[in-house]
Amino acid sequence: MSLSIRNQIPGTVTSVTRGEAMATVRARLTGGQEITAAITLEAVRELGLAEGRAVRTLIKSTEVALATGPVEGISIRNQLAGTVSDIATGGAMAAVKVTVGGGELTAAITKDAVEDLGLAVGSQVVALVKSTEVSLAAD
């Protein structure tokens, strides 16, 4: 099966926090970073997610924001440092590829944002992803 979801980074579950409807799952990526995913409690059950479980974290390109450095004092749990490797620009949007530890991320952001941040191939950036935007796949 092929997925349109550009960003698939393998990792291992390190903790599961269960609410009544939702759960937060933390995973350590192969590059060493930690990722938090907020998913339904039902998904945790059906995928049998528990500490030690191998997973892939799935993140749609439109859910990835970029910053020119680490951001402090922000609710966004996931921040992955990397380097811009490619930029494809359209009339309104741009697709920016970022090489991070353990893989590559694509961020679909506005053309304006690319210009305002002065992004180019080689730029150091931090990819930001809200926990509610991270899905998990268990093989």
Residues 21-40 that bind a copy of itself (CB under 8 A): 21-24, 36-40
Binding a copy of itself (rule: CB under 8 A), the pick from 77, 80, 98, 103 is: 77
123 binds a copy of itself (CB under 8 A): no
| Rounded Cα–Cα distance for residues 12 and 30 (Å) | 8
Which residues in 102-121 contact a copy of itself (CB under 8 A)?
106-114, 116-118
**Contact residue for a copy of itself among 9, 27, 29, 65 (CB under 8 A):** 65
Determine the 3-state secondary structure of 77 from DSSP. coil
2 binds a copy of itself (CB under 8 A): yes
Of positions 9, 29, 35, 63, contacts a copy of itself by CB under 8 A: 63
- Residue whose structure tokens are 């590059």: 31
How many CA atoms are closer than 13 Å to the CA of 79, on its beta-carbon side?
A: 14
User: Exactly one of 4, 32, 120, 122 binds a copy of itself (CB under 8 A); which one?
Assistant: 4
**Nearer Cβ to a copy of itself (101/115):** 115
Specify the DSSP class assigned to residue 121.
T
d(CA 40, CA 33): 23
The token duo for 10 is 């393998």
Member of 30, 51, 68, 121 binding a copy of itself (CB under 8 A): 68
138 binds a copy of itself (CB under 8 A): yes
Tell whether residue 93 is a contact of a copy of itself (CB under 8 A).
Answer: yes
Q: With the CA atoms of 67, 68, 69 and 72 taken in that order, what torsion angle do they form, in degrees rounded to the nearest 10? A: -40
Q: Is 54 among the residues that bind a copy of itself (CB under 8 A)?
A: no
Pick left, alpha or beta for residue 137 (phi over 0 → left; psi -120 to 50 → alpha; otherwise beta).
beta
